[in-house]
Amino acid sequence: MQISENISLKKYNTFGIEVIAGHFAVFTNESELSELLEFKKPTNTHQQPVLILGGGSNILFTKNVDGLVLKNEIKGIEKINEDEEHVYVKAGAGENWHELVLYCLQNNWAGFENLSLIPGNTGASPMQNIGAYGVEIKDVFYQLEAFHLQEKKIVNFGLKDCEFGYRESVFKAKLKGQFVITSVTYRLNKTPQFNTNYGAINQELEAMGVKELSIQAISQAVINIRRSKLPNPAEIGNAGSFFKNPEIDAVNFEKLNEIHPSIVGYPVAKGMVKLAAGWLIEQCGWKGYRKGDAGCHSRQALVLVNYGHAAGNEIYNLSGEIIQSVQDKFGVLLEREVNII
Instruction: List, for residues 134-150, the tens digit of each pLDDT value.
Output: 899 999 999 999 999 98
pLDDT value of residue 47: 56
pLDDT of the residue at 48: 63
42, containing H or E segment: none
Nearest Cα neighbor of 143 from 76, 78, 72, 88 is: 88
Mention every residue, 6+ apart, whose C-beta is less than 8 A from residue 24: 3, 4, 5, 7, 9, 68, 69, 70, 71
Residue 241 is among the residues annotated as catalytic for this protein: yes
Active-site hit among 95, 204, 314, 337: 337
Closest listed residue to residue 214, CA positions, set 205, 223, 227: 205
pLDDT of residue 173: 85
Phi, psi of 244 (to 5 degrees): -80, 155
Residue ranges of the chain with per-residue pLDDT less than 70: 40-48, 199
**Domains annotated on the chain, with CATH:** 4-72 (3.30.43.10), 77-229 (3.30.465.10), 237-340 (3.90.78.10)
Residue in 95, 167, 169, 187 annotated catalytic: 167
User: Over the stretch 21-71, which tens digit does the pLDDT of each residue have?
Assistant: 999 999 999 989 988 988 755 555 455 678 899 888 889 999 999 889 999
Amino acid at 46: H
User: Catalytic residue among 125, 183, 241, 319, which?
Assistant: 241
